[in-house]
């Protein structure tokens, strides 16, 4: 953490240097001492300090400076650092100005030049002021700050991206947070919708409505491969991909993992997984993904973020994955672990409210936003139940809208019991959302009761959709065999394709091998998978064993 700042301002270079030396001699242990030689230069320094997340404890400014007096400077500095102590250096002729400044700009003290000896005339005064400042000092947040609008879809996407990649950030609403206005003033950026969100990095860089790739580059995420060739390329950093990365790298394979959004996949959005082996108190999907990423990196696996696989082909013995950024990954073997996404609804008006009241999944980043709100969730499987339990800690009420007659067929018993024990969670069976309404954001939903054949318009600002699943396999094209729904065929399934054989190699396919030898599949993207975290982790580990067998026979 950076030390708080003492800033001195004097247009006389010799005097400025002398003051700086004097302050550093006494305060360098606990503070950083900076200097400026004009009012405008000092204001620019203050803006930079605000953007970089530093804190200013004290401003010591000479009054008689050309262009901008010390009093003018101290007055303008209030917009940037309202809590800093303000001291004016004056001559005898400026005492009246200093006294007026005490009343007009909250001047804390004025000192007459010269201040020698500092042990008698300077340090005691500053010691008292700094002790008072430190008594109320709260260390500033040093991570990324996101300034946006609560109903901005792109602001929501940026929050999800940062949270999913375990990047600490602070959310500042442009309409209600005073610090948001201070940062906008410091950056010189206007709060117009097309420029939001504004992202201020820990180093003070300002990004206007950045793409995920721009954001990843600024916060230090790896976005390109470091080696020309790998033993194993893994596409997708859900539970299956992460498990494969851990086992592959730990067993000596040069392993690279590609993830288009954030580690954890659909499971990473789960607030609490309570039936996963070894975590009797449960574990959040985000925490499980973070632990797995730490393991994989410790063993030497690379992770490339915000790159999406868009093609796959064989070139001799190499398997080549084309990425959306134009690069290619070459390796001996590939594991497809791209998982599934929540099914998109075609209800009229849904698309215009996505990120502005309608959300696919229920990321932790949105939890604080639903405080004291009435929240609705579409879905009846475990992911929807886990979201309901988590959001009930913040929302006034949570209503699960389920198409089926009950939850028993699609949700684990332990989760049903939890839901029934929380009085603010309500389950409405045989319900569907058939319309949505609002102006700049979601304001109403129309719920159809199929059992009573009637509809009702209900006010709400938050609707989370967690239903169905479709595989992320469209990028593969015809390179590997898939079923009609897009799930990838593997192992023995390839040998029973009737008049259209899917496996043409002389040997039989390995258990998780696809129709393209050397390319494997694990997790939810595989046809007939269990759609559980534990089974995906198991398949990821199994796939590495199959890769070793494949490499041994090359």
Question: How confident is the prediction for the chain on average, in pLDDT?
Answer: 90
Residue 499 has pLDDT above 60, yes or no: no
Which is more confidently placed, 440 or 541? 541
- DSSP letters, 440-507, are SSEEEEEEEETTTTEEEEEE-SEEEE----EES-GGGTTSS-B-TTSPBP-GGGGG--TTS-S--SSS
Using pLDDT thresholds of 50, 70 and 90, give the confidence band for residue 147. Answer: very high
pTM beyond cutoff 0.85: no
Lowest mean pLDDT among 87-101, 295-309, 442-456, 517-531: 87-101
Q: In this predicted structure, what is the pLDDT of residue 469?
A: 78
Using pLDDT thresholds of 50, 70 and 90, give the confidence band for residue 257. Answer: very high
**CA pair distance 234, 260, nearest whole angstrom:** 12
Q: In this predicted structure, what is the pLDDT of residue 514?
A: 95
For the four alpha carbons of 325, 331, 336 and 337, in that order, the dihedral sign comes to negative
Q: Which residues, in sequence order, are CB contacts of 411 under 8 Å at separation 6+?
A: 380, 381, 382, 384, 385
Using pLDDT thresholds of 50, 70 and 90, give the confidence band for residue 151. Answer: confident
Q: Which residues, in sequence order, are CB contacts of 131 under 8 Å at separation 6+?
A: none
230-340+470-552 and 350-465 have identical folds: yes
CB-count burial class (<10 Å; 0-12, 13-18, 19+) for 398 = buried
Of 449, 7, 525, the closest CA to residue 234 belongs to 525
In this prediction, residues 521-545 reach a mean pLDDT of: 94
Residue 378 β-bridge partners: 401, 465
Q: In this predicted structure, what is the pLDDT of residue 426?
A: 96
3-state secondary structure of 183: helix
Q: In this predicted structure, what is the pLDDT of residue 113?
A: 77
- DSSP letters, 204-264, are --EEES--HHHHHHHHT---S-SSS-EEEEEE--SHHHHHHHHHHHHTT--EEEEESS-TT
Evaluate whether 22 touches 41 at the Cβ level (below 8 Å): no
- HEC readout, 59-109: EEEECCCCCCCHHHHHHHHCCCCCCCEEEEEECHHHHHHHHHHHHHCCCCE
Considering 48-52, 125-129, 493-497, 520-524, the range whose residues carry the highest mean pLDDT is 520-524
Evaluate whether 332 touches 317 at the Cβ level (below 8 Å): yes
- CATH fold for domain 350-465: FAD/NAD(P)-binding domain (3.50.50)
Q: In this predicted structure, what is the pLDDT of residue 436?
A: 95
Q: In this predicted structure, what is the pLDDT of residue 395?
A: 94
In this prediction, residues 436-464 reach a mean pLDDT of: 93
181-228 pLDDT, tens digit each: 888 888 888 777 778 899 999 888 899 999 998 999 898 898 899 999
Q: Which residues, in sequence order, are CB contacts of 552 under 8 Å at separation 6+?
A: none
Q: C-alpha distances in angstroms, 27 versus 16, 114, 148?
A: 16, 19, 38
**CA pair distance 477, 226, nearest whole angstrom:** 27
Using pLDDT thresholds of 50, 70 and 90, give the confidence band for residue 396. Answer: very high
- CATH fold for domain 5-135: Rossmann fold (3.40.50)
Domain boundaries, the chain: 5-135, 144-219, 230-340+470-552, 350-465
**CA pair distance 46, 32, nearest whole angstrom:** 13
Q: Which pair of structure tokens corresponds to residue 313? A: 């082909």
511-520 pLDDT, tens digit each: 999 999 999 9
Q: Alpha carbon 324 to chain centroid distance?
A: 21
Residue 376 β-bridge partners: 399, 463
Residue 98 has pLDDT above 90, yes or no: no
For the four alpha carbons of 464, 465, 471 and 474, in that order, the dihedral sign comes to negative
Q: In this predicted structure, what is the pLDDT of residue 497?
A: 59
Residue 40 has pLDDT above 90, yes or no: yes
Q: Which pair of structure tokens corresponds to residue 144? A: 């990324």
262-313 pLDDT, tens digit each: 898 888 888 788 888 888 777 888 889 988 999 999 999 999 999 999 999 9
Residue 498 has pLDDT above 60, yes or no: no
**CA pair distance 261, 164, nearest whole angstrom:** 8
**CA pair distance 492, 498, nearest whole angstrom:** 13
Using pLDDT thresholds of 50, 70 and 90, give the confidence band for residue 331. Answer: very high
In this prediction, residues 14-24 reach a mean pLDDT of: 91
Cα dihedral 8, 12, 14, 17 in deg (nearest 10): 10
Domain 230-340+470-552, CATH among 1.10.3720.10, 3.50.30.40, 3.50.50.60, 3.60.40.10:
3.50.50.60
Residue 501 has pLDDT above 70, yes or no: no
Evaluate whether 137 touches 115 at the Cβ level (below 8 Å): no
Which is more confidently placed, 468 or 254? 254
Of 122, 104, 195, the closest CA to residue 152 belongs to 195
Architecture of domain 144-219 in CATH? Answer: 3-Layer(aba) Sandwich (3.40)
Give, as one character, the DSSP assignment of residue 152: -
Q: In this predicted structure, what is the pLDDT of residue 1?
A: 57
Evaluate whether 339 touches 533 at the Cβ level (below 8 Å): no
Does residue 330 come out as left (phi exceeding 0), alpha (psi in the -120 to 50 range) or beta?
beta
Q: In this predicted structure, what is the pLDDT of residue 229?
A: 97
Q: In this predicted structure, what is the pLDDT of residue 470?
A: 86
């Amino acid at each position: 953490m950076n030390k708080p700042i003492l800033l001195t301002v004097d247009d006389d270079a010799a005097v400025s240097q002398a003051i700086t030396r004097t302050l550093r001699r006494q305060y360098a242990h606990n503070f950083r001492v900076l200097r400026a030689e004009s009012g405008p230069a000092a204001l620019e320094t203050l803006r930079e300090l605000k953007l970089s997340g530093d804190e200013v404890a004290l401003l010591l400014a000479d009054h008689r400076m050309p262009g901008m007096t010390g009093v003018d400077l101290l007055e303008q500095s209030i917009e940037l650092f309202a809590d800093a102590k303000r001291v004016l250096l004056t001559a005898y002729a400026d005492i009246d100005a200093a006294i007026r400044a005490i009343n007009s700009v909250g001047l804390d003290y004025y000192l007459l030049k010269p201040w020698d000896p500092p042990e008698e005339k300077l340090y005691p005064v500053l010691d008292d002021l700094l002790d008072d400042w430190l008594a109320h000092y709260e260390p500033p947040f040093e991570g990324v700050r996101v300034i946006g609008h609560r109903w901005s879809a792109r602001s929501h996407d940026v929050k999800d991206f940062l949270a999913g990649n375990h990047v600490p950030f602070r959310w500042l609403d442009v309409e209600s947070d005073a610090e948001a206005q201070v940062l906008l003033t410091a950056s010189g950026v206007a709060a117009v919708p097309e420029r939001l969100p504004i992202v201020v990095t820990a180093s003070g860089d300002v990004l206007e409505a950045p793409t995920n790739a721009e954001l990843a580059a600024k916060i230090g995420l790896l976005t390109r491969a470091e080696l020309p060739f790998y033993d194993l390329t893994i596409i997708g950093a859900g539970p299956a991909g992460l498990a494969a990365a851990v086992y592959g790298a730990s067993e000596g394979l040069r392993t690279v993992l590609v993830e288009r959004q954030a580690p954890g996949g659909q499971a990473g959005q789960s607030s609490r997984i309570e039936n996963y082996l070894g975590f009797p108190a449960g574990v959040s999907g985000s925490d499980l993904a973070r632990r797995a990423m730490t393991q994989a990196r410790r063993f030497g696996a690379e992770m490339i973020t915000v790159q999406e696989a868009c093609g796959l082909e064989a070139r001799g013995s190499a398997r080549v994955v084309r990425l959306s950024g134009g690069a290619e990954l070459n390796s001996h073997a590939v594991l497809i672990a791209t998982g599934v996404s929540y099914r998109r609804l075609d209800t009229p008006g849904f698309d215009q409210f996505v990120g502005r009241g309608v959300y696919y999944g229920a990321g932790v980043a949105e939890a604080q936003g639903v405080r004291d709100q009435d929240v609705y969730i579409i879905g009846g499987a475990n992911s929807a139940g886990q979201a309901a339990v988590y959001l009930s800690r913040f929302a006034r009420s949570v209503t699960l809208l389920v198409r089926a007659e009950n939850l028993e067929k699609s949700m684990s018993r332990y989760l049903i019991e939890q839901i029934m024990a929380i009085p603010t969670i309500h389950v409405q069976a045989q319900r569907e959302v058939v319309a949505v309404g609002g102006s700049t954001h979601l304001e109403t939903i129309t719920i159809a009761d199929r059992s009573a054949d009637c509809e009702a318009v209900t006010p709400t600002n938050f609707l989370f959709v967690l239903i169905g699943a479709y595989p992320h396999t469209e990028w593969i094209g015809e390179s590997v065999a898939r079923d009609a729904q897009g799930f990838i065929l593997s192992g023995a399934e390839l040998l029973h394709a009737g008049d259209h054989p899917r496996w043409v190699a002389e040997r039989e396919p390995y258990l998780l091998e696809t129709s393209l030898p050397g390319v494997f599949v694990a997790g939810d993207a595989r046809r007939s998978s269990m759609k559980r975290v534990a089974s995906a982790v198991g398949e990821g580990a199994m796939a590495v064993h199959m890769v070793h067998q494949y490499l041994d026979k090359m």
